[in-house]
Amino acid sequence: MDPGRFTQVDATTWRVDPWGAMRVPAIIYADENLIRDMDNKVYDQAVNVATLPGIVQACYAMPDAHWGYGFPIGGVAAFDPDRGGVVSAGGVGFDISCGVRTMLTGLAVADVLSVQKSLADSLYHQIPAGLGSRGAITLDALEMDAMLIGGARWAVERGWGEARDLERIEEEGCMAGAQPDWVSERAKERQRREMGTLGSGNHYFEIQAVAAIYDLAVADVFGLVQDEVVVTIHCGSRGLGHQIGTEYLREMLVAAKEAGIELPDRELACAPINSEVGRRYLGAMRAAINCALANREILGHFARRIFAHFFPNCDLRLLFDVSHNTCKVEPHIVDGRRRELFVHRKGATRAFGPGHESLPAALRMVGQPVLIGGSMGTGSYVLVGEATSEAKAFSSACHGAGRALSRHAALKQWSGRQTVDDLEKEGILIRSPSMRGVAEEAPGAYKDIGAVVAAAEHAGLARRVARLRPLICLKG
C-alpha cells in the first residue's frame, strides 16, 4: 500500500482526512514498512467504514491489519446509538468471539522437552481439531440454551473448568444480554457436537516457552517467568458463530436499505442499533460470545487433564482470556464527555490500561494482559494495556501478526509436510489433521510479529511484557 495516500502524523500514525462520504477520519497505526506490505484494500475498507452512520471519532486499523470481509481485520470502530449508530455483522466477523487464552504451568522448559513428543501426540489424539471437528460433548436443546446464556460459567458448573478461572476471563466468563431465542435452529444444530473442539484455519493449541521478558515488574504480576512453559489456546464460537454471521448479514442488507443507509460495499451490511434487526443480532452475537468463552474454558479443562497425566503435581492457572471479534457496549471519553458506545473490534483485542474498573483486582494496578498470537514458527507476545490506548483507539490493540499472504498464495509457496519437517529441526513439533492447513498457516505467510508489536508499543496501544517461543503446536 502506498504510504503517500496518507498524511503521516508520526512514525506509527497515518491518517486519511474525511473526503467524499466519510464522516470521520481513518487512522492506521503501523510503521512505514508495515504500511507498504499491507493490501490496498485495507485503505479502501477503512475509508468505507468511516462512512457508516453514527461512527464516533475515527475508524482505526491496527498494525496487523489486512483485508477482511467488509471491515479490515484489525479494524476498530465505535458507534453511538443516539446518533443513528449501526451494528454490522461484517464488522464483528464470522468467527464471533474468536479469541485467545494463556495458562501458566509453572513447569520448566526442560520438564516439557523430556516428554515433548509424547505430549504432542497426546494433544493430537485428545483435542478434536480440524474443519468440522466434533467432540464427545453433545448438547440437547435445554443444555444448548443454558450454554448460550452461561458461557464459561456454564462450563465450570458442568465440571469442565474451575471457578477461579472466571475472574480472569473477559466479562467474568459470561456475556450479559445473550438471547438464545434469536439464534437459529440451524446454528444450534451445527454446534451440538462442537463444544471442546479447536476448529481449523488459524486456530491452535500451543505449548510455549517464555523466551524473553521485557517488563519484569508486570511479568511478575502476570506470573510469567523466563524459561517456564505456558499453554495458549486460540479458537472461537465454531459453527454457531459462523452461521449467525451468515444469516444476519442477509437480514442486514435489507435492514440497511429500509433505513436509507447508502452502503459503499455490500459487505458492510448493517442495521441501526436501535432497530429490531439490530437488537436481534446483538442478542444472538452475545450468545455466540458465550459459546466461544465456554469452548475455550472446556479446552482449558482438557489441557489440565492432559498435563496432569504427564505432570501429576502441575497446576495450570489462567493468566487471561480475551476475545477478538466482538461488538461491546463500553463507556469511553469522547470530546471530554463519557459516552456509551458500541465498539466493534474485528481482529483486534480489548486492551484496558491500568486502573480500569472491569479488570480483576490482581491485574488492575498494571493493566490488562494483551495476548498477541504469532505463527507456529515465530512465536507470540504478551503485552499489557496502556492508558493511552483509550484515546488512541477506544482501548484496543492488535491481535496477532496478521496475514501477509492469502491462504491461496501460501499454498503455492509452501508444502505442509515440508513445513512440519523444517519446524521440527528447529525444535517445534507440529501436529495437525490437515497438511493443507499447515501450508496455509506457514510462518512465512504472516507479517513480522516483532515489527507489529513494536509498532503497537510505539503507538501507545499496548506495551511488551514477554515473548513466547513455540515448543508444540496443534493446528486446526
Which tens digit of pLDDT belongs to each residue from 189-228?
Answer: 999 999 999 988 889 999 999 999 999 999 999 999 999 9
Q: Which of these is catalytic: 242, 301, 344, 399?
A: 399
The pTM for the full model equals: 0.97
pLDDT at 5: 94
Say what the pLDDT of residue 201 is: 86
Percent of the residues in the chain that have a pLDDT greater than 70, as a whole number: 100
CB 327 within 8 A of CB 343: yes
402 pLDDT band, cuts 50/70/90, is confident
pLDDT at residue 403 in the model: 87
pLDDT given at position 415: 94
Q: What per-residue confidence (pLDDT) applies to 135? A: 86
Annotated binding-site positions for GMP? 202-206, 324-325, 373-376, 380, 399-402, 475
The pLDDT assigned to 411 comes to: 93
Give binding residues for Mn(2+) as ranges: 95, 203, 234, 324
Residue 186 DSSP class: H
What is the structure's pLDDT at 476? 83
> Is residue 399 flagged as an active site residue?
yes
pLDDT tens per residue, range 105-124: 999 999 999 999 999 999 99
- Per domain, the residue ranges of the chain are 3-475
State what percent of residues in the chain have pLDDT above 90: 94
pLDDT band at 233 (very low <50, low <70, confident <90, very high): very high
Judged on CB neighbours under 10 Å (0-12, 13-18, 19+), 338 is exposed
Burial of 249 (0-12, 13-18, 19+ CB in 10 A): buried
Q: Which residue has the cell 484515546?
A: 391
pLDDT at 76 over 90: yes
3 state DSSP class of 265 = coil
Model confidence pLDDT, tens digit, residues 9-57: 999 999 999 999 999 999 999 999 999 999 999 999 999 999 999 999 9
Does domain 3-475 match CATH 2.30.29.30? no
- Closest C-alpha among 347, 438, 463, 379 to residue 74: 347
Mean pLDDT confidence for 120-130: 93
Asked whether the predicted pLDDT for residue 422 surpasses 90, the reply is: yes
DSSP letters spanning 421-469: HHHHHTT-EEE-S-HHHHHHT-GGGB--HHHHHHHHHHTTSEEEEEEEE
